[in-house]
Amino acid sequence: MPEIREGTTVKASSGGAMSAADKHVPVLVDTCMELLAPALDGPALLFDATLGMGGHTEAALTRFPELRVVGIDRDPEAIRLASERLAPFGDRFTAEHAEYDMIDEIAEKHGRPNAILMDLGVSSLQLDDASRGFAYSQDAPLDMRMDTSQGRTAAELIAESSHGELARIISHYGEEKFASRIASRIVEHPNRASLTTAELAELVKSAIPAAARRTGGNPAKRTFQALRIAVNDELGILERAIPRAMAVLQVGGRLVVESYHSLEDRIVKRAMQGMSASTTPIGVPIQMDSPPFRLLTKRAIQADEAEIAANPRSASVRVRACEKLHEGRR
């Protein structure tokens, strides 16, 4: 596991570049603040486990004047832009360059949080920067790393993987039923190690039958999602992070998670329901244990039409939340 990189507070630049606030509109920010609010009344500590460009953190610091926030992100550019955006809040904000499954180590450094927010998936910063290689609509090298300082790129993954491994990645992480056909086109390509985003998108399109291409948006969407998840170990990190986050929360603390596809939401739902359910056997008249969490969202919250119109990225969001009642089962 990589080390936590040094906490940073970056001063705002005076240049004319577009700011993080200009680039990014946080998804369901008011909903998230309402869910977090009871845990953030008075002096409190929030971990924004997926800082991105700082939109949710800015809203929290503005609404809760006694709040401190530790923002965690593995993308150095996100840390830089968010820190510029949040500079007016001074030492109420601290950034940590780390994967968010290191949340237990970050809690040892900064203290146990009263609340944790996770806004999963790829950020607007990464999608909008063509050079990062996340978008199939703009041609660029196939990178897809959220932390460009380490790890193998999507191009390297494609070059080094067998047909079977590529098919598994595309099928499992992209839920793509034509995964084997797509993998075959990739491994048969004479220059697969140097495919660009646009070339890969065209290759995927050629592998999918014309009838299947007529619905569901860009046919490369699921393959790009799959490669991105594999390159960044997104589901593995989430699987590790959720139980660690629940463990470090203070009693009375709240965990709020925004997911953007079924694979993420399934992991979050299973973890929250598991820690909120009684283990008392059916038919036993007296409850034998007290679950350490309670669900705040019986069903996932979704964006309404107005939110989707204002912020199209919110169309697929699912928000789940839970509250910590005590430290462990009893």
**Binding site for S-adenosyl-L-methionine: what residues are annotated?**
54-56, 73, 100, 119, 126
**Three-class DSSP category at 190:** coil
**Three-class DSSP category at 263:** helix
Please tell me the distance from the alpha carbon of residue 296 to that of residue 283, in angstroms, as a whole number.
26
The structure tokens listed for 282 are: 């059916």
Please tell me the distance from the alpha carbon of residue 143 to that of residue 175, in angstroms, as a whole number.
21
What dihedral angle (degrees, nearest 10) is formed by the CA atoms of 112, 114, 118, 124? -100
Task: Tell me which DSSP letter residue 205 carries.
Answer: H
Nearest C-alpha neighbor of 67 from the set 85, 48, 50:
48
The structure tokens listed for 119 are: 């806004």
Burial of 149 (0-12, 13-18, 19+ CB in 10 A): exposed
Please tell me the distance from the alpha carbon of residue 44 to that of residue 278, in angstroms, as a whole number.
30
Please tell me the distance from the alpha carbon of residue 150 to that of residue 275, in angstroms, as a whole number.
34
Please tell me the distance from the alpha carbon of residue 263 to that of residue 226, in angstroms, as a whole number.
11
Angle at 106 between CA 105 and CA 110, to 5 degrees: 125
Cβ–Cβ < 8 Å for 266, 224: no
For residue 301, report the phi and psi dihedrals to the nearest 5 degrees.
-85, 135
Please tell me the distance from the alpha carbon of residue 186 to that of residue 204, in angstroms, as a whole number.
8
Residues 6+ apart with CB under 8 A from 114: 39, 40, 44, 45, 46, 249, 250, 252, 253, 254
Annotated binding site: 54-56, 73, 100, 119, 126
